[in-house]
Structure 1
Amino acid sequence: MTADEDRTILLIGSGPIKIGQAAEFDYSGAQACRALQEEGARVVLVNSNPATIMTDPEMADKVYLEPINTEAISEIIRKEEPDGVIAGLGGQTGLNVTAELAEEGVLDEYDVDVMGTPLDTIYATEDRDLFKQRMEDIGEPVPRSTTITLDDGESVTDLDEDSLIDRVESAVDEVGGLPVIARTTYTLGGSGSGVVDEMDELIERVRKGLRLSRNNEVLITESISGWVELEYEVMRDADDSCIIICNMENIDPMGIHTGESTVVTPSQVIPDEGHQEMRDSALKVIRDLGIQGGCNIQFAWHDDGTPGGEYRVVEVNPRVSRSSALASKATGYPIARVTAKVALGKRLHEIDNEITGETTAAFEPAIDYVVTKVPRWPIDKFRDTEFELSTAMKSTGEAMSIGRTFPESLLKALRSSEYNPAADFNEIDDAELETEYLEKPTPDRPYAMFEAFCRGYTVEEVVDITDIKEWYVERFKEVADAAEAARDGDYETAAQAGFTDQEITALAGGEFNDTHVSWLPADLDEDGGDEPEVEAATDGSGVTVDTVETETTDRDFKLVDTCAGEFEATTPYYYSTRDPLSGIDRDELQIDPDLESVVVVGGGPIRIGQGVEFDYCSVHAVRALENLGIDAHVVNNNPETVSTDYDTSDGLFFEPVTAEEVADVIEATDADGVMVQFGGQTSVDIGHPLEQELERRDLDCEIMGTSVDAMDLAEDRDRFNKLMDELGISQAEGGSATSKEEALDLAHDIGYPVLVRPSYVLGGRAMDVVYNDEDLETYIEEAVRVSPDKPILVDEFLADAVELDVDAVADEDDVLIGGVMEHVETAGIHSGDSACMIPPRSQEIKDVMPRIREVVEDIADALDTVGLLNVQLAVRDGEVFVLEANPRSSRTVPFISKTAGVPIAKIAAKVMSGATLSELDVQEQIPEQVSVKEVVLPFDRLPGSDPRLGPEMKSTGEVMGTAGSFGKAYQKAQMAVGKAIPLEGTAIVDLPILGFEEHFDVQDFDDYEDTDAIIDAIQSGKVDLVLSRNRDVLEACVEETVTYFSTHESAEAALEAINSADQPLAVQAIDERPKTQREWGAE
C-alpha cells in the first residue's frame, strides 16, 4: 500500500484504565485517529472503554465499544473489511490481540495487513530469548538471562514441584546466582515481575509468571539493581530514517519499574560520552528490529571508570507507551501522530511539525527546560497493602511538570501529584527514617529526603542510604535549604527553587490558603493531615501573600516549541518559570487578550475515584467553547490525557492545579471566565481559594456555572440535609459530627449498622459500614487523618435498597436528564465499584421514574444549578431517597453520553457560557438496548489488598457491554474486563443462590475440610468459578486468576449471562444503536 490510497484502517484501543496501562492510550489513539483521517483513510476504531475521548462517535468513521478479544474483533473485521490493522497504538492489549488474530488465521482469512511494525518484530521483543539472541547478534550488551519454559502440552497445574524447583535452580545458576529479576512475557506494567533474593519466593513468582504469560515463559535475568535506568524514545520510517526524540532518566535506580520512578528529561547524570553510546545503540537496535514508527528502548547504565561508563540494553517496547506519551508532552513531538502516518507509508521528512510549521518530523526535538514526572499511588484506598516500590507497577497515574531548573520542575511535579506523604515525620526517629523511608523505596521517599536535610543529614549520608545519584541528592538539599531561607525571610531563593507564594507565606509563618503543596517541613504540619495545617514557625507571623509577592519574581510563561527557540513556534503550549535567567524580558505568550476566553481547569493525575472520565468532560467543554467562538485555555498536568495535547485547546498551560497557579494563567490570558466543574474533585476543590485569589488580585473573571457556594452546600451535610427537608425529599436518617461523641450519639440515634465517611472527599475515600461503637471509634481516627477539620458524616445504612445514578444538565429554568442508571449491586457498594445498567430494568424503578425526575428537577432548582448535576438515589419500598447530589461533572458522564447519544458535557459548557437548553433544542433519548458498565479492579497488582467490594471505591477503570438483553450485555462487559464467565466446570458457591447447578458441579464450603483446603483446590486448578465473600478465598482467586463474584447481585447477573451464552455476539458501531426520543420519567 502507498500513502495516497483510499483504505480502511482498523485501530485497536487499549481497553479500560488499569495499573500499568492508563489514559496514555486514549491520548495516543485520539491523535492517531486524527492523523489517519488527515491522510484520507477511513478509520474503524474498537475499544471497550466508554470513558475515553477516542470512543466518541466523531473520532473515527466507525466506533465500536466492544470487548477487545479475537471473537469480537473477528466479527468487526468481517463486517468492516479493513485493509490493515495498526497494533502499536493500543498498548500491550492491542499488541496481544493482534498477535492472537494472526495466530488464529483471522488476518490472513480477511486479507488484513499488519501495518507499521511487523509481527515478527513484536515476537522478537516480547519473547525474551529471541530478544536476547537478536541483541547478541548485533553486538549489543544485555543482562545475562535464561528462560524457564513449559513443555508442549504442559500446564502449570501439571508441573511437578521437584521439576519446577530444578528448573528454577538451574536458571539461577546460569545467570550467576541470586538476586535475580523474574520477568513475565506479554504482560503489562511488570505484572508478575520482581527482584527476588530468596529461592522460595522465586519459585512462587515463576509459578505465577508461567500462568500469566501468554507463551508460558518466564525470563530469569541477572539483577542490575543500583544501575541508572534510562529510556530512549526513537522514531523510524520505512526509508530507515531514524531520530532520537528524547532520553529520560529515572531518579530511582534499577530495580524499580520506570512507571513507579520519578523520571527526568533530559538526563542529568549521564556523561555525554555515555549518552552518545546509548544513542548509537538505540538507532542500531530499532534498525535491526525493523520497527516502523515509535518505540521505547530501556537501558541500564553505571559508572565503571571509563569516560562513557557501561550500559546494557534491557528491553524494547515496539509501540507507543506510557513513556511515549510522556516524551510527546515533554518535547512537543507527537509520537502517536507520526507513528500512525509512518504506518501508512509516509516518510518522516513528509510529515509537518505542527508546532513550528517550518520543520518536519525528521528534525530531532531540542529542549531548553527540565521535565519531571512523578507517579500517583492509591495508598489512600489500600491501607492494608505494602507500597514498597519494585519492578511491578502499583501506581494508577502520573503528573508532569516543566521548569527551567530541576528543583523548580521537581516541586511543581510534587504539587501536581496532589500526594501527601502517609508518614508523619514528627513521629519518626532517625533510625526509622533511615530504614523505612530513605533506604526502602516508597512513595514517601522524596519527602523523607527533604526531612533528612531538615535534620542535618549530609548529601553523602543520603546518597549512601538511598543509592540515588549525588547530583539529584544535592538538588533535594537545595530545596530544603531554600525552605529554610524562606523561614529566615529570603523569599526570592524559595521562589526560584519552585515554591509558590502561598507555600513561602506558610514557610514564613503566615497563613496558607490553597489546595496542594509540593513539600513543607514536617513541623509546619502538626496534624499530619492531607492538607497543610500551617502554624507559625518563626517570628514572621503577620506575613501575608501580599508581602511575599512584592519580594519574589513573577511567573513568566515560556513556550514548548520542540526546537529550543531556533524556530518560531505557532502552537500555544506553555509552562511557567520564576528563573530570572529564563529571558523574562521576552514575552512568549501568543494570546490576544481582546478575544473572549475561558480557562478550563483539568483533573490532574489519574487516581481511583477520579479517572479519565473527567478528562473526557474537560475536552468536551473545550470543544463546546470553540463551537461558540470562545478561546479555551486548559490548565492541567497529566501527560497521559487528550486535554494536554498541544492542539486540543487555544492555549495549553502545563501547570499544577492550585488556586495561585490557575490565577496566574487567568491573569496572563486576561480570561473572562474559568470553569472548575469538569475536572472532578481536583478542580472543584480550588473553587473557594480561587474565588478569594481572584478577588485579592482584583481580576475581572467569574467562576462560571453553578456557584462555589452551591457546590459547597451540596458537600456540607448539615446544609444539604436542611435543604432536602425543605424540599420534602426523603433521605437516609443521618447527620454530621465534628467530634467522636457526636458521631457515637448519631449512631445510637440511627441504630447500627451505619454508613460513615469524611466530607469533601472523592471516590468514597475512607467510607465504611460500621456495626458497633468500637468499629466507629477506630474509623473516626482514620477519617480525621483523611479529612482534618471537616465533619464526619453518619448515615442510616439503607439495606436492600436499589441504587441509581442520574446525570443531568440544568440552566436555572429547565433540566435535561442525560440518563438514569440502575446499579447491579445494592446499597453498601460504592457507586463507582458497582456494575450499572441503562436503562433501568427493575419494575420498582420504573414505577417511581416520575418521582425520580421530580427529585432531580427540585434539587437542580434549589441549588441554582447551571451546568452538570449528578444525583445519587436509592429506592426502597417505593420510596425515593437522595443519597447525595453533586453539581459538577461525574464519572458516569461519558457512559451516559455514549449510551443515550446526548453529549451532556458539551451541552453543560454551552449552558455555562450563557446558552439555554431551549435555545440548544436538545432532546432527551432513551436507548432501546441494554448497556452495562462494569468496573476493573486492581487487586492482582496489589498483593494483600481486600478483594471484597464495599463503600470505598477501589476500581481503576471501566468497560461497557451492549446487547439486546441484560444477560448478554453483562457477559460482554465481563469479557471486556478480561474475566470471561466460565460456562461449565466446578463452582464453589458460598452465597445463597440457586441455578448454577444446571451448569456446574456445585460445591460449598462444607464439602471441604477448611478454608485452606478450598484455597488448595483453587491453587491446583480444580476450581473454575467461585461465589463467596470470604476474603482468603477471594485472594486466592485473584492470585490464580479464577473468576469470582463476591455479591449476591453480581452472582445472579453472572447466572443470567451464562443462560444468555447461546445468543450471538452481535457487534454494532455506537451510531447504529437504536434510541427513542422520549423524556426520562415522562408520564
Structure 2
Amino acid sequence: MKDENIKKVLLLGSGALKIGEAGEFDYSGSQALKALREEGVKTVLINPNIATVQTSEGVADQIYFLPVQPHFVEEVIKKERPDGILLSFGGQTALNCGVELYRQGILEKYNVKVLGTPVQAIMDTEDRELFVQKLDEINVKTIKSEACENMEQTRKAAAELGYPVIIRAAYALGGLGSGFADNEEELVKLAEKAFSFSPQVLVEKSLKGWKEIEYEVVRDRYDNCITVCNMENFDPLGIHTGESIVIAPSQTLTNSEYHKLRALAIKIIRHIGIVGECNVQYAFDPQSEDYRVIEVNARLSRSSALASKATGYPLAFVAAKLGMGYGLFELKNSVTKTTSAFFEPALDYVVCKIPRWDLSKFRGVDKELGSSMKSVGEVMAIGRNFEEAIQKGLRMIGQGMHGFVENKELEIEDIDSALREPTDKRVFVISKAMHKGYTVDQIHDLTKIDKWFLEKLQHIIDIDEAMKKCNINTLDKELLRTAKVYGFTDFQIARAVGLEDELKSMRKASLVVRSRRKNYGILPVVKQIDTLAAEYPAQTNYLYVTYAGVKSDITFENDKRSIIVLGSGAYRIGSSVEFDWCGVQALNTIRKEGYRS
C-alpha cells in the first residue's frame, strides 16, 4: 500500500547535460514526476537545466533552477519542507548529493524520508570496499580490486594483482579517469589523472575479453522481484557500456547461463535491499560460465532508458510508484494497459543500441575507446533479426547510408591493429576486413567479439557479395527479398548491383530498385513492439517497419486528423535535449487540439 504520510516530494535532477548524464535522466525524472502527480502528491524539482522536459510547465509543481549540491538542496528543504526525497532519478549527481545530505544529517534534521532504495544500500553499491564485503556475505564473486588512497598503495596493489589492471576513480561519472594499464609506467600516468578527480582510486584485475552482460531488475518493499530486460554488449569487456553496441535481449547466452545470471541478479538486489529499479552488470567468461559482478547501479541509468524503450515496460514510472510504497502486484503497466507491472516482458524482436560520437569535431582527440565514456548520444533500432537491427542502427547514427556494407570513404592502413584497438569506427573496420577475406575466427582473435555476432555480420557481407554478382535484370525475387529481410535499403541494393555507377545518381538508382521490388510484391509491414510475445494483447505505441513479416499489426485510420512530428535523431554536440523539449511541447499541443500525433 502507498505511504499516506507523503504529501510533498523533492526530486533531484541531474543538472547540466554532460557525457554520461544526458537525456536519459530527463526521461527518468519526467516519468517519476508524472507518477507522483497521478498520486496527488505535490512535487518539487531541483534541476538547473533549462532545456529539459522535466523543467517545463505542468510537470513539477515547483521548480528550482539551482545546482544539485547539498548547500542549495538544504535551502530548498528549509523553505519547502517536503515529506520525502527521490535520489535515483538524477544520475550519479543526484545520488552523490543524496549521500552527502544523509551524511551531514540534513535529511534527519528536517525529517525528510528517502523514498525507494535506502541511502545505506546506495552507499553499499557505490563504495567499492563495502560493495565487495556485501556480496562476499552471499558468496557472489566480484572483481578483485584494491581501494587506494595514494600512489604508493596503487603501485603495490597493481604488483600484487598482476598486470594488466584497470584503474577507476571511485564515485565518478561515466568511467571518468579510468583506463587499462599493462605496466607500471602506464599505471602511474593513469593513477595521477584518477587522483585528480577522486580521493579513492580502485585498482582491479583486468578481465578484458570477457563478455559484458546487464540485467535490469525491479524490486518492491514486499521483496517481489522481476528482471525486466537483459542486455548484452557486442563489444567485450574493456569498453564502457555507454560506448558499446548493445543488444537486447541477449543473443549468445545459453538457457542455463541466462537463468544463472538472472537468479544471481535477484539474489544480489534482495541482499542489498534495493526498492525500485537497479541494474546489475556482469563480466562473463564464455569459456567456463565463470562470472564477476562489475557493479550495481542503485539508480536509473542510460541502460535503464534503453531497457524501458526496448521492452515497453515503464521502468522509471514503476520505480517511482514503488518508492511511494506500492507493491508490484498493485500496479498496472501504463504502456501495455492490460498487464500488471508484475509481469516480465518476453520479446519477439531484437533491439540494437548504437552510440554516436562527435570526436571529429575536436583536434588532437584520442579516437580510441576504452573504459571512460566519450559518446554524446545513441540510437535504438528494432528488427526481427540481428542483421536487420544493426543495419538500421548504423544508418540512424548518421555515419553514412551504407548500413554494414563497405564504406568506401573509410581508409585504413593496418586492419589488424585497427581491429585490436577499438575506435569509434570499429564496426566499419570489421566490414572492411570481411570484404578483404578475413575469417570470423581471425576477427574474433583480434577483437574478442563473440563469434555469433561476427557470423551474423558475415551473413550481411555474403548477401552483399551475392548481389554484386548480379545486375538489376538478373537480380531474382528471392535474393531481393532476402536482402530486404536482413536490413538492406533500396540504395544499398542499387549500389551492390552497380546501378549507382551506371545511372550516376543515388536517387534514380534507388527508385529503379524500388519499382522492381514493388513489382515483385515485396512490401514492408508495420509491427508493434509486443512485449508479451503475443501471449496477451498489448497496446504499446512503439512501432517499427520490417520486411520480415506477413501483415501489419495496426490498421491506419485515414481520417485526415494525424500530424507527424520529426525529431532531431541521435544526440550530438549542438543538437540534444532541447529538441526533445520542442518535440514534446509540439506533441502535447497536437493532442490537446484533438489530432493524432
Question: Structure 1-normalised TM-score?
Answer: 0.52
* Kept after mapping to 2: 8 A contact 1:501/1:545: yes
Deviations 1:203-251 (A, max 9, x none): 23223323312xx211111000000001000000000000011110001
Deviations 1:700-719 (A, max 9, x none): xxxxxxxxxxxxxxxxxxxx
In 2, Cα distance between the equivalents of 1:225 and 1:427?
A: 27
Name the Cα RMSD after superposition: 2.2
Written as runs of structure 1 = structure 2, the 5 A alignment for 1:498-537 is 498-511=487-500
The equivalent residue for 1:983 is none
In 2, Cα distance between the equivalents of 1:630 and 1:304?
A: 55
The equivalent residue for 2:323 is 343
The equivalent residue for 2:415 is 433
1:236 aligns with 2:236: no
In 1, Cα distance between the equivalents of 2:360 and 2:400?
A: 10
Q: How far did 1:304 drift?
A: 3.2
* Kept after mapping to 1: 8 A contact 2:378/2:570: yes
Written as runs of structure 1 = structure 2, the 5 A alignment for 1:994-1005 is none
In 1, Cα distance between the equivalents of 2:534 and 2:297?
A: 31
* Kept after mapping to 2: 8 A contact 1:229/1:250: yes
Written as runs of structure 1 = structure 2, the 5 A alignment for 1:440-479 is 440-479=421-460
DSSP-derived class of the 1:354 partner: coil
The equivalent residue for 1:191 is 176
The equivalent residue for 1:115 is 115
DSSP-derived class of the 2:37 partner: helix
Written as runs of structure 1 = structure 2, the 5 A alignment for 1:629-640 is 629-632=594-597
In 1, Cα distance between the equivalents of 2:337 and 2:511?
A: 51
Deviations 1:448-498 (A, max 9, x none): 111222222222222222211110001111111222233322322221110
Deviations 1:94-127 (A, max 9, x none): 1011111222222122111111111111111111
**Worse-superposed segment, 190-199 or 592-601:** 592-601
In 2, Cα distance between the equivalents of 1:223 and 1:365?
A: 34
1:355 aligns with 2:324: no
AA matched with 2:270: R
The equivalent residue for 2:306 is 326
In 1, Cα distance between the equivalents of 2:401 and 2:189?
A: 32
DSSP-derived class of the 1:33 partner: helix
Q: Which has the larger radius of gyration?
A: 1
* Kept after mapping to 2: 8 A contact 1:259/1:393: yes
Q: How far did 1:547 drift?
A: 2.5
Q: How far did 1:442 drift?
A: 1.1
In 1, Cα distance between the equivalents of 2:460 and 2:269?
A: 39
The equivalent residue for 1:99 is 99
Q: How far did 1:3 drift?
A: 3.0
The equivalent residue for 1:572 is 541
In 2, Cα distance between the equivalents of 1:90 and 1:619?
A: 20
Runs of 4 or more, structure 1, over 6 Å off, are 421-424
Q: How far did 1:507 drift?
A: 2.8
Q: How far did 1:590 drift?
A: 5.0
The equivalent residue for 2:44 is 44
Q: How far did 1:569 drift?
A: 1.7
In 2, Cα distance between the equivalents of 1:474 and 1:550?
A: 32
1:260 aligns with 2:240: no
Q: How far did 1:425 drift?
A: 5.4
In 1, Cα distance between the equivalents of 2:253 and 2:2?
A: 41
In 2, Cα distance between the equivalents of 1:592 and 1:3?
A: 43
Written as runs of structure 1 = structure 2, the 5 A alignment for 1:42-441 is 42-149=42-149, 164=151, 166-175=152-161, 177-213=162-198, 216-305=199-288, 309-420=289-400, 428=411, 432-436=414-418, 438-441=419-422
* Kept after mapping to 2: 8 A contact 1:504/1:548: no
In 2, Cα distance between the equivalents of 1:135 and 1:506?
A: 54
* Kept after mapping to 1: 8 A contact 2:407/2:428: no
In 2, Cα distance between the equivalents of 1:535 and 1:593?
A: 29
C-alpha spacing 1:448/1:82, structure 2 compared with 1 (3 Å): same
In 1, Cα distance between the equivalents of 2:555 and 2:9?
A: 37
Deviations 1:353-377 (A, max 9, x none): 1233331111111111000000000
1:620 aligns with 2:585: yes
The equivalent residue for 1:676 is none
In 1, Cα distance between the equivalents of 2:467 and 2:580?
A: 36
Written as runs of structure 1 = structure 2, the 5 A alignment for 1:626-775 is 626-632=591-597
AA matched with 1:254: L
Q: How far did 1:4 drift?
A: 3.6
DSSP-derived class of the 2:306 partner: helix
* Kept after mapping to 2: 8 A contact 1:195/1:223: yes
The equivalent residue for 1:545 is 514
Q: How far did 1:578 drift?
A: 0.9
C-alpha spacing 1:435/1:208, structure 2 compared with 1 (3 Å): closer
C-alpha spacing 1:427/1:107, structure 2 compared with 1 (3 Å): closer
* Kept after mapping to 2: 8 A contact 1:421/1:444: no
* Kept after mapping to 1: 8 A contact 2:348/2:531: no
* Kept after mapping to 1: 8 A contact 2:348/2:530: no
* Kept after mapping to 1: 8 A contact 2:312/2:336: no
* Kept after mapping to 1: 8 A contact 2:490/2:510: no
C-alpha spacing 1:453/1:552, structure 2 compared with 1 (3 Å): farther
* Kept after mapping to 1: 8 A contact 2:149/2:200: yes
In 2, Cα distance between the equivalents of 1:485 and 1:4?
A: 66
Deviations 1:922-945 (A, max 9, x none): xxxxxxxxxxxxxxxxxxxxxxxx
The equivalent residue for 1:494 is 483
The equivalent residue for 1:771 is none
In 2, Cα distance between the equivalents of 1:10 and 1:496?
A: 49
Count, aligned residues: 584
Written as runs of structure 1 = structure 2, the 5 A alignment for 1:863-1012 is none
* Kept after mapping to 2: 8 A contact 1:595/1:631: no
C-alpha spacing 1:541/1:405, structure 2 compared with 1 (3 Å): closer
AA matched with 2:13: G
Deviations 1:601-624 (A, max 9, x none): 111111001111011111111111
DSSP-derived class of the 2:226 partner: strand
1:21 aligns with 2:7: no
* Kept after mapping to 1: 8 A contact 2:283/2:292: yes
C-alpha spacing 1:541/1:608, structure 2 compared with 1 (3 Å): closer
AA matched with 1:171: A
Question: Structure 2-normalised TM-score?
Answer: 0.94
C-alpha spacing 1:533/1:208, structure 2 compared with 1 (3 Å): farther
In 2, Cα distance between the equivalents of 1:462 and 1:425?
A: 20
AA matched with 1:594: D
DSSP-derived class of the 1:63 partner: strand
Q: How far did 1:90 drift?
A: 0.6
Q: How far did 1:287 drift?
A: 0.3
In 1, Cα distance between the equivalents of 2:581 and 2:13?
A: 16
Q: How far did 1:268 drift?
A: 1.1
AA matched with 2:327: R
* Kept after mapping to 1: 8 A contact 2:314/2:335: no
In 1, Cα distance between the equivalents of 2:167 and 2:454?
A: 30
* Kept after mapping to 2: 8 A contact 1:510/1:535: no
DSSP-derived class of the 1:167 partner: helix
AA matched with 1:491: L
* Kept after mapping to 2: 8 A contact 1:463/1:473: yes
In 1, Cα distance between the equivalents of 2:116 and 2:458?
A: 46
In 2, Cα distance between the equivalents of 1:282 and 1:42?
A: 34
AA matched with 1:224: L
AA matched with 2:462: D
AA matched with 2:351: V
Q: How far did 1:534 drift?
A: 5.4
In 1, Cα distance between the equivalents of 2:482 and 2:498?
A: 16
